[in-house]
Structure 1
Amino acid sequence: MRSNDVLGFIFAGTLDDKIPELAASRTTASVPIGGKYRLIDFVLSNMSNSGINNVGIVAKSNFLSLTDHVGSGSAYDLSKRRSNLTLLTPYGGKSFSNLVETIYNMHGYIEHCREEYVLIEQGNVVTNFDYSALFDFHSKNNADITLVYKKGIIPAGYDRPITIDADASGKVSQIFVKPDNTAEESDFMYGSLLIRKELLMNEIRSALSLNQLDIKRVLQDAVGKFRVFAFENKGYTAFISSINSYFAFNMDLMKKEVRDELFNPKRPIYTKVRDDAPSRYGLESKVKNSIIAQGCVIDGEVENCVISKGVYVGKGAKLSNCIVMQDTKIGTYTNLNYVIIDKDVQIKDGRSLMGFDSYPSYIAKKSVV
């Protein structure tokens, strides 16, 4: 299978309802993460690095931020003569209420694309994944459908998670929806799959004709009818399915082994470039075990924090275990611990705010505290 014969199809709004604070004015895929990235940067970079040239992003609402970030796709090398990045938004009263209808309503776009296969991905997953290994596995096994799974405990926030049962060769014998043993380690299928385009559209049309609108039931029915295989993602993977998982992932970035795996120079993670001056550190500033993006002014103390571009931290301020998004201004002699601060927030002098590692506080975009 040639990588340029695969259409990338990304659902940007995966689990929007599970992070209502962060997704109030944006879709999940455009949530800022790691100081300078958005969630969608990882899946788009994975596709580009694997040779996929044509990508469609399905965004059902709050997609202005996403449109501004991905633009024409040039940051991901997807705006060349034979490359394309398309943002697919609701039109003509079409329904986005479930995946079956959503995919069907995009049939004009999908069938017009020249690619033979479709790679479906979710916009809430952070991983550096080489799809070429998936393509080889799919071809070698003459598979009709290949599901990507992660071995481990099912993340919180998935109301009807999917787990799979497969033999040593990877052939799937059974798919379980909302299994009873969610607290135990299992093969968790998180919504990534590779399928032939013609087969996908045939199954979607068949499901609609039977009023079967649950894509998970469609996958269950496919076992036995088709050659369904499972491919394991063995690398570091984070699922942003709650405010706690969002906080935990950003804190994970303090670990060198996590950064080394996610930001592999052989498979770089691309993002929209914002030209800022280098960050400046005052004479009395102290920074420990933190990620500081460019364009910041740090005059206070920062420890175990992720600080985005253009942030100002005033003199005497103390920040610990915080995530601060871009262009936020933090006043002098403030004390912040376990706080997530959205974009363009102003925290005035002398304020104190504290959450906990299992329940971080959140300050909404453009708030004044």
Structure 2
Amino acid sequence: MSKSMLGIIDATIHNEEMQELTLKRSIAAVPFGGRYRLIDFVLSNMVNSGIQNVAIFPRYQYRSLMDHLGSGKQWDLDRKRDGLFFFPSSENENTGSFQHFKENVDFFGRSNQKYVVIANSFTVSNMNYKLILERHIQNRCDITHVVKEDETLDMYVLEKDLLVKLFMNHEQTGYRSIMDVVEDITSGYKICNYEYTNYAAVIDSLESYYEHSLELLDPVVWKQVFVKDHPVFTKVKDEPPTSYSKDAYVKNSMIANGAIIEGHVENSIIFRGVKIGKGTVVKNSIVMQKGVIGENCVLDSVILDKDVKVEDGTSLTGKTDSPYLVKKGSVQGALMNS
């Protein structure tokens, strides 16, 4: 038990630059990589690091997140002892995660792990927290802050008792989150940086979502994110294999199961249950679940959210630094874009 860890996923953050993808879902529940949600990566990292007790602290639009994770069965967290816990905030305004933790102090008191890993819900990586904990103990740090090239990954390791002390006294100290403590050079705590050298992507804007999604098409990135011995778990949905017509053409793309491909797909990520019609060309794009793209369409540098319908003959074009987004459940027609 001396090196046991409690996992804390701070899903309280609402980023205005992600608003177009988070109108009806939290950042944690944003689809990513063809069949995953963003939270799958950090949650899988925790499970693969031997963490059996995980608490998620959401604040905004968390219904789809709870539906996705359910009892935690896919992550082997549906347990009689420890397991997966949700603690939605009762606060309507952004008062900081420490207040959120304080509202649920009883959970921390019941948890018997000595150390805590705190992570955000929107960093894509395949990280072993055991290695970070070992460095934390070896260097006798109060707080270990995980960074990549001197940029924060919003991940921290510390003793649970110290965390409880920090959030119980936050009204006196003025600290609203663990980041406030790390950034305060007068705090008196020993803050250590842990430089993470493998792939890690912080998804905090529409542009970063688009950029880092398509990075998965790079075999070097793919091999660092999807590691055989450290799998990324997600909610299982039983669907048939993808069907390709004789005229279909696919190049350098990720295509999930349950899709029907009759057109041309290149440098794109296609989620479950998507249909792409004859004569249609999809390039440099992301098409989320159950999207239906008609015949003779052209899509380039486009993000289609879930359940979008694109009618025959429609042309949608964005830019690599400014992708064209179609909102969830909407319809795009040729006349609309003429």
**TM-score by structure 1 length?**
0.86
Match of 1:277 in 2: 240
Q: Measured at CA, do residues 254 and 220 of structure 1 come closer, stay the same or move farther in structure 2, by a change above 3 Å?
A: closer
Gaps of 5+ in 2: 333-338
Displacement, 1:320? 0.6
Match of 1:33 in 2: 32
Match of 1:238 in 2: 201
Distance 1:75 1:313 in 2: 30
Match of 1:204 in 2: 167
Displacement, 1:2? 4.9
Amino acid at match of 2:262: D
Displacement, 1:308? 0.1
Match of 2:147 in 1: 149
Q: 1:318 aligns with which of 258, 265, 281?
A: 281
Displacement, 1:135? 1.2
Q: Secondary structure of 2:86's match?
A: strand
Match of 2:292 in 1: 329
Distance 1:217 1:14 in 2: 14
Displacement, 1:293? 0.2
Distance 1:215 1:236 in 2: 24
Please give the residue correspondences for 1:172-321 in structure 2 after superposition, counting only pairs within 5 Å: 187-213=150-176, 215-221=178-184, 225-321=188-284
Distance 1:83 1:73 in 2: 11
Distance 1:349 1:300 in 2: 12
Kept in 2: contact 1:346–1:367 (CA 8 A):
yes
Amino acid at match of 2:137: S
Q: Measured at CA, do residues 216 and 48 of structure 1 come closer, stay the same or move farther in structure 2, by a change above 3 Å?
A: closer
Match of 1:47 in 2: 46
- Residue 62 (structure 1) aligned with residue 61 (structure 2): yes
Kept in 1: contact 2:298–2:315 (CA 8 A):
yes
Amino acid at match of 2:257: Q
Displacement, 1:232? 1.2
Distance 1:277 1:2 in 2: 46
Match of 2:336 in 1: none
Gaps of 5+ in 1: 152-186
Q: Measured at CA, do residues 363 and 291 of structure 1 come closer, stay the same or move farther in structure 2, by a change above 3 Å?
A: same
Q: Measured at CA, do residues 83 and 109 of structure 1 come closer, stay the same or move farther in structure 2, by a change above 3 Å?
A: closer
Task: Tell me how many residue pairs correspond in the alignment.
Answer: 332
Q: What is the CA deviation profile of residues 159-215 of structure 1, one whole-angstrom value per residue up to 9, with x for unaligned ones?
A: xxxxxxxxxxxxxxxxxxxxxxxxxxxx12232111111111212233312445465
Distance 1:11 1:212 in 2: 15
Q: Secondary structure of 1:326's match?
A: coil
With 209-218 and 119-128 compared, the bigger mean Cα shift is at 209-218
Distance 1:291 1:100 in 2: 39
Amino acid at match of 2:47: S
Match of 2:125 in 1: 127
Please give the residue correspondences for 1:99-114 in structure 2 after superposition, counting only pairs within 5 Å: 99-114=97-112
Distance 1:232 1:15 in 2: 26
Q: Measured at CA, do residues 13 and 352 of structure 1 come closer, stay the same or move farther in structure 2, by a change above 3 Å?
A: farther
Match of 2:79 in 1: 80
Kept in 1: contact 2:54–2:85 (CA 8 A):
yes
Kept in 2: contact 1:14–1:124 (CA 8 A):
no
Kept in 2: contact 1:318–1:335 (CA 8 A):
yes
Match of 1:172 in 2: none
Distance 2:146 2:273 in 1: 38
Kept in 1: contact 2:181–2:187 (CA 8 A):
no
Kept in 2: contact 1:15–1:124 (CA 8 A):
no
Distance 1:224 1:68 in 2: 40
Match of 2:7 in 1: 8
Distance 1:212 1:278 in 2: 50
Kept in 2: contact 1:296–1:310 (CA 8 A):
yes
Displacement, 1:29? 0.8
Q: Measured at CA, do residues 2 and 33 of structure 1 come closer, stay the same or move farther in structure 2, by a change above 3 Å?
A: farther
With 333-342 and 187-196 compared, the bigger mean Cα shift is at 187-196
Match of 2:335 in 1: none
Distance 1:324 1:2 in 2: 46
Match of 1:174 in 2: none
